[in-house]
Chains A and B, each alone.
Chain A
Amino acid sequence: MNKRLLSALLVLLFGFATPLASAQDDDDDFFVFDDEEDDASVTIADPLEGFNRAMFAVNDKLYRGVVKPIARGLRIIPEPIRIGADNFFTNLRAPISAVSALLQGDVRNAGTEAGRFVLNTTVGVAGFLDPATKVGLIRDEEDLGQTLGKWGVGPGIYLVLPFVGSTSLRDFPALIATNAWNPVYQNLHDDTIVAINVVDAENTLSLDKDTYEAFYRDALDPYVFFRSAWAQNRAGRIER
């Protein structure tokens, strides 16, 4: 990834990415909306809904046809090993998480994430174990998308991209930067970084219990359901 190009791209994108005003329901005569705390419903602009729905359908096919069968195959590996691998991948992201926390002015969490990396990489055998949690360094992972969010950059618009899934005009470039600028990845080829992300995703999925399928099956409109869940999750993580 050409970093200068990326920086330019970021500026370009965020130059016109505007914070989104949440669509608020003007209800006050029945119980839930008499409290402004509940009034703040999270929504995300979706002007590319047609494209996004098409990509959502493509991803669903990819997921059911390729991604999930591979994850299922991984289940022949004993679960404790896959949990170790999950710890390993999480640990690889700890340095950029610490940087992101620092950029947000959250010195305490930056220290926690840096401390986690040092302890887990050494005592935790290259990150396969998580002794940091046991001594009270609790993971609170940050990325550059959350950092931009903290700085007041709204998500812009919702995007669904092949393989990437749910993201936004703010979060997709930030996701690339989060990977490109991770100190641990500095000497790695782009292909290797992509491979790390793919294996991580497959491993995570192997530990999951058909959640996507269940929510997809039960929702009246799966596209809207996953868009809503994604937007809420990101907004919550940024606020925290």
Chain B
Amino acid sequence: MRTLIHSCTSAFFALLLSLGFAAAVQAQQATPTATVQTTVDTILGILRKPDFDFDTDREAIKQEVTKAFDATAMAQSVLSTNWRSATKEQQEEFRDLLLATIENTYIDRIKAYTNETVEFRGESINNDRATVESVVVTQSGNVPVNYKLRLRNDLWYVYDVEVENVSMVSSYRDTYRDVVRRSGMDGLLAQMRSKLEELKASKGV
């Protein structure tokens, strides 16, 4: 059971990654760390407002996240080889569904986690890629969170977040690969659509 709990705990910290969908880069040439930090600070700022209300402020958080993310890069990365065999329409729908899925899973859960502090530990840049290392300090220990960024038009955008070594992109990729193999691209899109509707209905959103 310990290992199950451990996976769960790792997975649970994955929700913290929503704090980091970085890149509200106003200033050009911001470093990858500055890029991530700006977004994390902005989102934590929203969460810690005295009059914070999840339903009304959710949209603001979502906008920060969307702004910070290179959605296409992420969608490509998740679909891997299946991206190329998909049609343009399938690619676009997939990208939109993926964003909605991430929003559902991660943004929905962050309201319980506002007292954590985030410390940035360093970055490494390799041409147009960068990794920003951070640690979320919780009462029962430190959780390593790494952000993967890509440089596009002189701005850094996040395309993956790794929490406790668990990459969001890899987790989705592993799950979706199986679905595409069994049911094809249209099958995947249909399943993603119905999952989102099911979640919406169960949450009464």
Binding site for B on A (CB under 8 A): 25-27, 29-33, 35, 37-38, 41-43, 59, 63, 67, 79, 83, 86-87, 90, 138-139, 163-167, 171, 175, 197-198, 200-201, 204-205, 207-209, 211-212, 214-215, 217-221, 224-230, 232-233, 235-237, 239-240
Q: What is the 8 Å Cβ interface bit string for chain B, positions 100-144, against chain A (1 contact, 0 not)?
A: 010011001100110000000000001001000000000111100
A198 lies within 8 A of B175 (CB): no
A164 lies within 8 A of B4 (CB): yes
B129 lies within 8 A of A225 (CB): no
Bound Cα distance from A63 to B1, whole angstroms: 9
With both beta carbons as reference points, the residue of chain B lying nearest to A238 in the complex is identified as: B165
Q: Which of A38, A165, A214, A230 contacts B105 (CB 8 A)?
A: A214
B76 lies within 8 A of A166 (CB): no
Q: A211-B12, A226-B11 are in contact. Are A86 and B140 (CB under 8 A)?
A: yes
Additional pairs, 13, CB under 8 Å, beyond known A43-B174, A166-B7: A27-B84, A30-B84, A31-B76, A163-B1, A166-B4, A167-B3, A214-B15, A214-B109, A215-B14, A224-B175, A229-B11, A230-B7, A232-B166
With both beta carbons as reference points, the residue of chain A lying nearest to B150 in the complex is identified as: A31
How near does chain B come to A195, taking the closest CB pair, in angstroms?
12
Binding site for A on B (CB under 8 A): 1-15, 73, 76-77, 80-81, 83-84, 101, 104-105, 108-109, 112-113, 126, 129, 139-142, 148, 150, 159, 162, 164-167, 169-171, 173-176, 178-179, 191-192, 195, 199, 202
